């Protein structure tokens, strides 16, 4: 044997990677890709849900004005809320006062200069009711008031008999 033969046989053998490690690496790569795809899908779903919720919120009527009407004793009598989008003045009775058989309760917008403008007559005995009102009817109004009038309310353009 020559010296060259002995050196060749002493060279280190190449390391082989176990097939289990290869399978594990492939499995982890597939798992990583599935996780990335799932997270990307969830982000898109979240964006779609946020856009849907924003669209639904934009459709909802937004209260633009609120008024609390008090009775002669200073106790809350009626809560009024106005939504400009659907032109409704919603009135909610907070006490048990109701008009009599021959009376009507009329709602008034009172401007800063004191000139009241009729918004309508409360024709319902229920706790909550709505009156159709335009935003222009409330333009410049500083207060809301209610007067007890004869059945049917006062004539158009006439002032209230006594605003409460």
Answer whether 137's CB lies under 8 Å from 80's CB: no
For residue 126, the 8-state DSSP code is: S
Interval 119-146: pLDDT, tens: 888 877 778 888 888 888 888 888 888 8
Specify the pLDDT at position 164.
47
Specify the pLDDT at position 83.
85
160 or 7, greater pLDDT:
160
Mean pLDDT score of the chain, rounded to an integer?
83
CATH of 63-150, one of 2.30.30, 2.60.40, 1.10.150, 3.30.70: 2.60.40
Task: Report domain extents, the chain.
Answer: 16-59, 63-150
66 or 40, greater pLDDT:
40
Specify the pLDDT at position 57.
86
Model confidence at 17: pLDDT above 60: yes
Which candidate, 128, 106, 130, 129, places its Cα nearest to that of 119?
106
Give the mean pLDDT of 156-162: 73
Query: What 3 state SS string does 47-115 have?
Result: HHHHHHHHHHHHHCCCEEEEEEEECCCCCEEEEEEEECCCCEEEEEECCCCCCCCCEEEEEEEEECCCC
Interval 74-102: pLDDT, tens: 888 889 888 888 888 888 988 887 777 77
pLDDT-based confidence at residue 29 (cuts at 50, 70, 90):
very high
CA distance 35 to 29: 10
């Amino acid at each position: 044997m020559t010296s060259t033969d002995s050196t060749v046989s002493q060279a280190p053998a190449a390391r082989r990677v176990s097939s289990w490690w290869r399978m594990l690496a492939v499995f982890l790569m597939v798992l990583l890709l599935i996780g990335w795809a799932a997270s990307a899908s969830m982000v898109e779903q979240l964006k779609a849900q946020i856009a849907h919720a924003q669209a639904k919120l934009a459709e909802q009527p937004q209260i633009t004005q609120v008024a609390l009407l008090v009775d002669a004793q200073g106790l809350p009598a009626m809560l009024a809320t106005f939504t400009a989008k659907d032109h409704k003045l919603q009135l909610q009775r907070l006490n048990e006062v109701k008009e009599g058989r021959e009376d009507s309760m009329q709602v008034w917008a009172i401007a800063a200069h004191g000139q009241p403008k009729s918004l309508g007559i409360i024709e319902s005995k229920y706790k909550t009711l709505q009156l159709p009102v335009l935003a222009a009817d409330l333009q410049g109004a500083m207060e809301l008031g209610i007067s007890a009038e004869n059945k049917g309310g006062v004539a158009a353009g006439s002032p209230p008999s006594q605003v409460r």
